[in-house]
Chains A and B, each alone.
Chain A
């Protein structure tokens, strides 16, 4: 069981490296934003696996937080690429 989990950790880590490659290479900003979002998801997986491996429940909060942040972050980036700003002052424009 433990060996299996370690294999998965390695696989997820490799996929994280792949996302990172996309983050670095681009070529467009949306590519990078998607890569960052995926890195967030990968991290969630990784943290879950590590929690099992370390036999602890203290990191479950981190998973929840990361899920929220990853969502908010992606939305913020998307809005930024769309409009150039994140928080609009004038709602009518």
Chain B
């Protein structure tokens, strides 16, 4: 019987994403370290999001909290808006959910 362990991103996915960006051979040990870093990253991320949400007097994390977080991380700046990052890094089906697009008949999808 396997031990139940903490939920985490699939190893294969982490590996795939990391090797997509480094474009260089990476040893198995290095991937283990990357996995550990991902775990830590998510811990920090959840702490930060909690702080930002409660700062705004909410108990629910919203897109605005994530935007503040990404601004603090230096990912979103005045020259690099969140929408551009979404367009650049997320696949089309997720982009559709996040960025409102005006459709025919003066409809905006997704409506807010």
Q: Do A and B bind each other?
A: no
Residues of A within 8 A of B (CB): none
Residues of B within 8 A of A (CB): none
